[in-house]
Amino acid sequence: MPGRVRIVKWEPKAEPMQLTVHYAVPDPARLAEIAVKKLQRELLGAGCGCHRAEELIGLLRDLGCEVEIIEAPGGTNGRSQFN
């Protein structure tokens, strides 16, 4: 740590935990397009590993887009557990 920085408290939270992060999104439509492409790749098993399908669906919901998985990988039909 730099000399000007002092840790005042060090009590990491118990696992698992959930973080709440807020972003200013200048172009929600563009971010939604990117999220849909990432979701498609994730469902095909070719995702980058940055975001799980559940996270991408939640992001899309926050952006005002509703997604329903009508055919899960492996050919099973029905509503997804992500909805």
1 in Cβ contact with 7 (< 8 Å): yes
CA-CA distances (angstroms) from residue 73 to 10, 34, 36, 77, 80?
A: 43, 20, 16, 9, 10
pLDDT digits (tens, 9 = 90+) for 16-56: 887 777 889 999 999 999 999 999 998 888 877 788 889 99
User: For position 20, what pLDDT does the model report?
Assistant: 79
In this predicted structure, the answer to whether residue 75 has a pLDDT above a threshold of 60 is: no
Q: Is the whole model's pTM more than 0.85, yes or no?
A: no
pLDDT band at 77 (very low <50, low <70, confident <90, very high): very low
pLDDT band at 3 (very low <50, low <70, confident <90, very high): confident
* Distance between CA atoms of residues 9 and 74, nearest Å: 48
Domain ranges of the chain: 21-83
